[in-house]
Amino acid sequence: MLAIRTGRHGAVGVTTPIGDPGRGGSISRRSIGGEVSSASDMLSVYDYSALAASGPSEAPCGASRSQAACRGRSPSCSTTSAPQWSPSPPALEYLTLPAGDKTPAGPPGAAPESYDEDMEPEGGRTRSTWMDSAEVPGRPSLADDLTTDVCVVGAGIAGLTTAYLLTREARKVVVLDDGPIGGGETGRTTAHLASALDDRFYHLEHLHGEEGARLAAQSHCAAIDRIESIVAAEGIDCDFTRLDGYLFVAPGESADELDRELEAARRAGLEVESVARAPMGSFDTGRALRFGRQGQFHPLRYLAGLARAILAGGGQIYSGVHVEEFESGPPTRVKTATGRQVTARALVVATNTPVNDRVVIHTKQAAYRTYAVGIEVPAAAIARALYWDTADPYHYVRLQSSKDDATPGATDILIVGGEDHRTGQGDDDTGERWTRLERWTRERFPMAGAVRSRWSGQVEEPADSLAFIGRNPLDKDNVFIATGDSGHGMTHGTIAGMLITDLVLGRPNPWAQLYDPSRRTLRAAAEYASELAKSNLPFGEWLTPGEVDSIDDVPPGEGRIIRHGLQKLAVYRDAAGGKVVSLSARCPHLGCVVEWNGSEKTWDCPCHGSRYAPDGRVLNGPALSDLSPVAQPELARRQ
């Protein structure tokens, strides 16, 4: 599945065409304004809450922010006139799909005969807070070959921001995704908009120098500014707000880290000060750093607004399009599973991890799973802010406010994340990770009530702590990638849109060298070697026994690895216990043995993070193809 997979502070599913009830389900419709002149003009919308139940000009960059918060004018503040925008975008037609019906019939998402409705994840079985409170635009699948200026693969925040900015520069843009907007990692973020970076500015100074740390701070500040200006220009109702962020030390750790970070963050140009404590109610954090001018929003509502603006500006977005082949240019060309082609002057691969790159980038970053819970708290009981501690892995906290805090009995959702681990290398205790997050939360917020949601997401951690954005290494100059969100997917994805737009248009950008995917950071050699070792270690699983001896030992609703001669099989039994899917356990990317993720109901590769549905369909790159089906071996059954 080709999906933009953004990060923890930071996409995809599929669409069912208008008039097609899907696999035996019905579709209800409601129209909002205007008339649809043709099928190609129709804009359908996914209602995530229903699934759970069954050209104005942009404000100048930094205009709303003090220079003390983040010094320097951001790039991509072009004085070029934007194209004329249609004052009347196409009518919106809302679709309500039956629960579980999220993929179109036919390739590449066609279900095998042994397929069960319970085996239908889009990045995982869990659902985030955002998925239950948003409607996002869906689009038809690609029916014809196309030629365009720029082809963007991936409809998450990096892909759609790039497409949005390029349409404003009068470029023809086609966005392809094999799922609906926001069905992947952008919908699994906690959506912190932070210039206070996880990896600490004193660490960035060590790796990239003071100038590199300053540019990193400037770019993330500019990304928050750009989101704010787009929200205002397009009138996007996505709960965007500015607020403070607080960093405090974990129990038993020294506060010296705060002193180091305070000085480094100031050198980087951030608005930061030391305060006696973070405003976390009765819990005394001890001394903390307050970072000004941070932000938060509802990520799926923001993506919905971006998509509408792209379509209104002449861009095209297609869902249910699985790209199988990439051809460098000029011109570039992508081929889909149905044989359609898009030819373009430039190609942007805005998937969470590049699916057009087999080795190079995947040796520079590692895939991690991160976890989140959404817990009810009384409205206005907790100060609205972003909160982070210095634990390893660290905790990150925010509120999603109710619409009317003054209503008696109103509740907010306290969103707490953490408990990170390498993808495929810690999936045996995922349930306990959510339990630990809940325990941590209730110890600090005694007013916490019922758990409303819990979910996990995928984060790409680069060895030198900064994203890879720009021209793809060892490729033509007109092929661009965006990856390595490092837990800041919303801002890194926005930086990607700004930087790649400049590169496509041939404009200079002061961040280009800092984020260059071809860079070599010698001071990150130790981290590089450590993560490379973790990626190679799982290859030894080919020499170990299986987890169970027989297909009969696989519990209902679960998957297990079984050895069968020289092979290892990934075997899933459906929740009813009657249907069994038997697959090769070999990840088609580079041959690692996949592991079962019992909470998300996926097969996860512990080497480079590829993920698959229980029936073997690829959900996350870098793999492009599915796990291979294997005939169920009689020798693997109990006699």
- Residue 425 CA: distances (Å) to CA of 99, 121, 526, 596, 624: 31, 20, 20, 10, 21
Mean pLDDT, residues 381-387: 96
Q: Which residue is it, tokens 């995928």? A: 458
- Report pLDDT for 78: 39
Instruction: Tell me if 327 sits within 8 A of 334, measured CB to CB.
Output: yes
Residue 257 has pLDDT above 80, yes or no: yes
The fold of the 544-636 domain, in CATH, is Rieske Iron-sulfur Protein (2.102.10)
DSSP per residue over 25-73, as a string? ---EEEEESS---SGGG-EEEEEHHHHHH--PPPPPTTTTS-TTTB-S-
Band of pLDDT at residue 474, cut at 50, 70 and 90: confident
| Segment among 102-111, 252-261, 432-441, 535-544 with least mean pLDDT | 102-111
Residue 12 has pLDDT above 60, yes or no: no
- Report pLDDT for 593: 92
Q: For 21, list phi and psi in degrees, rounded to 5.
A: -75, 5
What angle, rounded to 10 degrees, do the helices at 157-168 and 299-312 form?
Answer: 30
| Rounded-to-integer distance, Cα 615 and Cα 109, Å | 10
- Report pLDDT for 430: 77
Band of pLDDT at residue 404, cut at 50, 70 and 90: low
pLDDT per residue over 38-79, tens digit each?
333 333 343 433 333 333 333 333 333 333 334 333 444 433
| Rounded-to-integer distance, Cα 486 and Cα 194, Å | 12
Q: Which helix (H) or strand (E) holds 526?
A: helix 525-536
Q: Strands, DSSP E only, in 79-226?
A: 92-96, 135-138, 146-153, 173-176, 192-193
Q: Enumerate the domain spans of the chain.
A: 28-118+129-191+299-363+466-525, 242-291+364-461, 544-636
Q: Compute the mean pLDDT over every residue in the chain, rounded to the nearest whole number.
A: 80
Residue 432 has pLDDT above 70, yes or no: yes
DSSP SS3 for 336: strand
Instruction: Tell me if 605 sits within 8 A of 611, measured CB to CB.
Output: yes
Residue 204 has pLDDT above 90, yes or no: yes
Residue 389 has pLDDT above 60, yes or no: yes
Instruction: Tell me if 496 sits within 8 A of 482, measured CB to CB.
Output: yes
- Report pLDDT for 633: 59
Residue 296 has pLDDT above 80, yes or no: yes
| Rounded-to-integer distance, Cα 367 and Cα 312, Å | 35
Band of pLDDT at residue 584, cut at 50, 70 and 90: very high
Mean pLDDT, residues 249-269: 96
- Report pLDDT for 158: 96
242-291+364-461 CATH, one of 3.90.1640.10, 3.30.9.10, 2.40.50.140, 3.50.50.60: 3.30.9.10
- Report pLDDT for 542: 59
| Rounded-to-integer distance, Cα 247 and Cα 261, Å | 10
- Report pLDDT for 329: 79
Residue 514 has pLDDT above 60, yes or no: yes
Look at 214 and 80; give whichever has higher pLDDT: 214
DSSP SS3 for 474: coil
- Report pLDDT for 8: 35
- Report pLDDT for 74: 41
Residue 226 has pLDDT above 90, yes or no: yes
pLDDT per residue over 127-166, tens digit each?
999 988 888 877 899 999 999 999 999 999 999 999 999 9
Band of pLDDT at residue 634, cut at 50, 70 and 90: low
Residue 362 has pLDDT above 90, yes or no: no
pTM for this prediction: 0.81
| Segment among 7-21, 133-147, 374-388, 425-439 with least mean pLDDT | 7-21
Closest CA to 178 of 204, 150, 159, 196: 159
- Report pLDDT for 407: 62
Look at 331 and 180; give whichever has higher pLDDT: 331
Sheet holding 595-597, edge to edge: 595-597, 602-604, 611-612, 618-620
Q: For 326, list phi and psi in degrees, rounded to 5.
A: -125, 130
Percent of the chain at pLDDT above 90? 57
- Report pLDDT for 6: 33
Architecture of domain 28-118+129-191+299-363+466-525: 3-Layer(bba) Sandwich (3.50)
